[in-house]
Amino acid sequence: MPAKKSKLLLSIVIVSFNTAKLTKACLNSVVRKINCSQLLKEKTEIIVVDNASSDDSVDAILNLSKNIDSRQTQHHSILKLIQNKTNQGFGQANNQAAQVAKGKYLLFLNSDTLLKPKSLEVLINTIESQEAKKAHVKLLTASLLNANNSYQHQGGDLPNLLSVFGQWCGLDDWPILGQFFPSIQKKLPKNTLLAHKKPLLITRGWIGATALMIEKENFLNLDGFDKQIFMYGEDLDLCWRAHQLGWQSAIATSSFVVHFGSQSSSDTNAKTKEIQALFYFFKKYFSAWQTKILFILIAFGCFLRYLAFKLQNKSSIATFYKELGIDLLHKKYQ
């Protein structure tokens, strides 16, 4: 007898680590948007994976789950919690949830986010539209906003020596011409501010996993996030592998998610982890001589940034890039 097909349309996956207040706010935002949606109500589940938080995250999630379920008329529990005894890292925690998710689509959502109205519906409708047209866009993300509702850049060109050079040597910051240089971190075009007036996709070589939607079957076919990446770079790696299959990644400019950012680590620590992930990526996919040039390019980029921030009297960040450049030259990251 064939297995009963799941009626769930969407599984929202949130990884929690010592962000109790933010996680609770995120979950409340998600539940409100689900309950206000005819498309998603009673067709969505939320799976939270807690990576051995030492704060009161677990208690907050469990209490919220009880309150939510007491108000629900549906037969399945809308909020489920997976508790890890040790910190498994961001990618592996998401992989855990994906294995047990019952929705057709997965939405990997950071705990430090808040959903804007219709953000979920836009993502679902867009990815279903792409699927109906047999288009190549298989990975989709929302437009990210800062806390003040200004646009937050995400994603960019896939890594190679040219896109690393464009980012770390500041070519992508040049007025007008900057948009034509390849860069791992790509800035949004100025007309994006008007994009919400009509549905629009901006394709990228890679997109962030802050609010990333993908069909569950496609995610499993990619073998999920790289288990060797603890945190930072797992989204870039996933998009690279998807690109090898001819799949595209895109930003849905009429879906909006507020992202507070760097809540589980400091900005400087995040930048260091991103660089380490880039070195891992090059060692995984590129030749040894390209990886050696990568060290030189980023070390040179650190020197340029040190000078730039020094001239702006931003001594703290200038010192960070100086020390980072010295560490690179001493082959600390090899």
Average pLDDT, stretch 213-220?
A: 97
Has residue 1 been placed in a domain? no
Which pLDDT band, with edges at 50, 70 and 90, does 242 fall under?
very high
Helices 161-168 & 288-311 angle (0-180, nearest 10)? 10
- Whether residue 102 sits in one domain with residue 196: yes
- Whether residue 231 sits in one domain with residue 304: no
The total number of structural domains in the chain stands at 2
- Whether residue 212 sits in one domain with residue 127: yes
- Whether residue 28 sits in one domain with residue 129: yes
Has residue 173 been placed in a domain? no
- Whether residue 18 sits in one domain with residue 108: yes
Q: Which among 109, 144, 142 has a CA at the least distance from the CA of 126?
A: 142
Average pLDDT, stretch 76-105?
A: 92
State which of 236, 267, 298 marks the end of a domain: 267
DSSP 156: B
With residues binned 3-state (H G I as helix, E B as strand, rest as coil), the percentages for the chain, rounded to 5, are 45, 20, 35
Has residue 164 been placed in a domain? no
Average pLDDT, stretch 216-223?
A: 97
- Whether residue 301 sits in one domain with residue 258: no
pLDDT digits (tens, 9 = 90+) for 147-197: 988 888 889 999 999 999 988 887 777 766 667 788 998 876 655 544 455
- Whether residue 241 sits in one domain with residue 205: yes
- Whether residue 95 sits in one domain with residue 215: yes
Average pLDDT, stretch 310-316?
A: 90
Has residue 314 been placed in a domain? yes
Asked whether the predicted pLDDT for residue 115 surpasses 80, the reply is yes
- Whether residue 323 sits in one domain with residue 195: no
Buried b (16+ CB within 10 A) or exposed e, 89-98: bbbbbbbbbb
pLDDT digits (tens, 9 = 90+) for 1-43: 444 455 799 999 999 999 999 999 999 999 999 999 999 998 9
State which of 217, 233, 267 marks the end of a domain: 267
Has residue 277 been placed in a domain? no
- Whether residue 74 sits in one domain with residue 217: yes
Q: How far is CA 179 from CA 118, 134, 185, in A?
A: 30, 29, 11
Which pLDDT band, with edges at 50, 70 and 90, does 239 fall under?
very high
pLDDT digits (tens, 9 = 90+) for 38-63: 999 989 999 999 999 999 889 889 88
| Residue 33 belongs to domain with CATH number | 3.90.550.10
The confidence score (pLDDT) of residue 73 equals 42
Average pLDDT, stretch 201-209?
A: 94
- Whether residue 241 sits in one domain with residue 306: no
Has residue 96 been placed in a domain? yes
Has residue 176 been placed in a domain? no
Has residue 307 been placed in a domain? yes
Rounded Cα–Cα distance for residues 79 and 11 (Å): 10
Asked whether the predicted pLDDT for residue 262 surpasses 70, the reply is no
Rounded Cα–Cα distance for residues 135 and 218 (Å): 14
Contact indicator for 269, 161 with CB cutoff of 8 Å: no
This prediction's pTM: 0.89
- Whether residue 124 sits in one domain with residue 37: yes
Largest interatomic CA distance in the chain: 72
Q: Which domain holds residue 234?
A: 10-153+188-267
